[in-house]
Amino acid sequence: MRCHGHHRGHPILFTINQTGTEPHRLTLRRLVILLLMSDRYSDKRRELLTAGAEVMLAKGYNGTGIQEIVNRAGVPKGSFYNYFRSKEAFALAALEHLSDASRSVYEAALTDPGISPRQRLIDLFDRLISDHTASHGATRGCLVGKLCQEMAEVNPVIGDKVEYLSRHYAGAIARCLQEARSAGEIDADRDTDQLAEFIFNSWEGALMRMKASRSSQPLNAFREILATVLLR
């Protein structure tokens, strides 16, 4: 008899004896092996995503080859297809991979009940600016923005993913702005969804200018306007 289970999100097939009582000893051993293999699969896939996403951030979708991804990750080229069916599938997974961390930062910063909603927004972008300048020297940019600019028009699948992630970021900002409006920190008649779209789009534009100028000045200008004009 075959049964299905899951370990860390990966399906696992295992067998029990036909009496329906205890599993065979060999089957338990195989199950342990499958669990270990599942962990190794997840770890190697994560290594490919982390390494390859950095290449794609630097060179774009069309400038990134599968050979370069596997070289950066230190795996054979044939192994790539054990984890991703195509470069497009990799790009979609890389967008999710990098966005998972960013979305966690957004959610943690914008929902902190101990800080006023207005200050949460300021603190969020202060942290993001620090990450992009101190940690990456004003060169890294954002994969969502990069693939939006390069691929959204020619690849609807990637374009849809970029739009989905962008709406998630803007939605998190809008929810914080709604709290700010309720607290009297912004005008009561302010359209918070529209303002959130403007803030997020301005941020993405500032990141593009940062990369072009290799300078933090566009990010600093964004932060100054955010603090003194948009949210006063």
Residue-wise pLDDT for 62-87, tens only, equals: 999 999 999 998 888 888 898 999 99
Confidence of residue 10 (pLDDT cuts 50, 70, 90): very low
Q: What is the pLDDT of residue 22?
A: 47
Look up residue 163 and give its two tokens: 């739009």
- pLDDT, tens digit (0-9, with 9 covering 90-100), for 104-119: 899 999 999 999 999 9
Of 191, 193, 138, nearest to 169 by C-alpha is 193
> Does the pLDDT at position 16 exceed 50?
no
Residue 128 burial (10 A CB sphere; 0-12, 13-18, 19+): buried
Give the class (CATH, top level) of 86-232. mainly alpha
Residue, of 121 and 231, whose pLDDT is higher: 121
Q: What is the pLDDT of residue 77?
A: 84
Whole-structure pTM value: 0.78
Of 88, 95, 64, 207, nearest to 161 by C-alpha is 95
Look up residue 12 and give its two tokens: 């696992």
Q: How many residues does the chain have?
A: 232
CB 7 within 8 A of CB 41: no
- The alpha-carbon radius of gyration of the chain (Å, integer) is 22
